[in-house]
Structure 1
Amino acid sequence: MPKGGARPVSGPPPDPTALRRNRPADKAGWTTLPAEGRVGGPPAWPLAAMTDREFELWRDLWTKPQAVAWESLDQGYEVALFVRALAQAEQPDAKVELQRVVRSYLDSLGLSVQGMLRNRWKVAATEAEETPRPASGPASRRPSARDRLRIVPRGEGG
């Protein structure tokens, strides 16, 4: 393992709600995935013989919001390899190294929170999330950093 220096996933992941938005890496933008997920059946299985468990996982994964991005990026093989590794890692006698591989797939395919952030993917808000709830009183919401940084016109303040 190299000592010091940058690594591909070192440092904090990108934050779509960060106050400072003028970093060069932010120019790529964020991809918003549909909350309802990918519509339609899963694509054809690209690997040799599929087990029953692999079929269940394959079918389930292709309904997720991330599947929209996988389809546009033509990641069928990567998802299939993840499914195969996950099915093997579920076994009681699975090796720890295989579990590390599965964790890596989770991140690279955007199936973990860290993976979603690193891929710069976010899931669209559902109607229930978009509807603002009325405040229940003055202490219901803590002021954000943005709220505290408002400009005070001349004559106001202390």
Structure 2
Amino acid sequence: MKGGHAASGPAPDPNALRRSRPADAATWTALPSGGRAGDPPEWPLLEPDGREWELWADFWARPQALMWERMGQLYEVAMCVRMLARAEQPKSSIELQKVVRQYFDSLGLSTQGMLRNRWKLTDAPTDESARTRKAPARKSARTRLTVVPGDAAGE
């Protein structure tokens, strides 16, 4: 990798026209828009406060939670929840808010994070579904031409 950091450059686009790029060899993971069913996992850190518990339950009901569970990211999600609960407080530091944004990106909770993780939602109306609808059949140019009766002399 030349220059920058791991997240430099534009995020991958699932609707990109050029599919021959080596970076596009990886597949996109479709996540059900309905989210993850069931109770959240057991909290892995020291006792959560009330707000942390609310956020924990909310996060684990999201579609991204299926991937966190698959990858064993309980601690990362718990730390994100803890930092978010602190960042919500009045006069929280800008640095703490930056950390939360970074967690959101890495956990796929932001649009950029979803794109970088190559995750997309399914069962939701998308612009792509509108583009894939077949256009109504048009008459050919030949059938649209009509002969207008007139004088052969050009009157």
TM-score (norm 1): 0.77
Q: For 1:20 and 1:6, how far apart are their aligned partners in 2?
A: 24
Partner of 1:91: 89
Partner of 2:73: 75
Q: For 1:18 and 1:111, how far apart are their aligned partners in 2?
A: 22
How many residue pairs get matched? 132
Partner of 2:35: 37
Radius of gyration: which is bigger? 2
Partner of 1:15: 13
Partner of 1:63: 61
> Secondary structure of the residue that 1:48 maps to in structure 2?
coil
> Secondary structure of the residue that 1:33 maps to in structure 2?
strand
Q: For 1:12 and 1:72, how far apart are their aligned partners in 2?
A: 26
Residue identity matched to 2:90? P
Q: For 2:18 and 2:130, how far apart are their aligned partners in 1?
A: 25
- Residue 6 of structure 1 deviates from its aligned partner by 2.9
- Equivalent residues in 2 for 1:1-158 (5 A)? 5-126=3-124
RMSD across aligned C-alpha pairs, in angstroms?
Answer: 2.2
- Residue 131 of structure 1 deviates from its aligned partner by 7.6
- Residue 132 of structure 1 deviates from its aligned partner by 5.8
How many percent identity over aligned positions?
Answer: 58
Query: Measured at CA, do residues 132 and 16 of structure 1 come closer, stay the same or move farther in structure 2, by a change above 3 Å?
Result: closer
Residue identity matched to 1:108? S
Poorly superposed stretches of 4+, deviation over 4 Å:
128-135
Q: For 1:109 and 1:97, how far apart are their aligned partners in 2?
A: 18
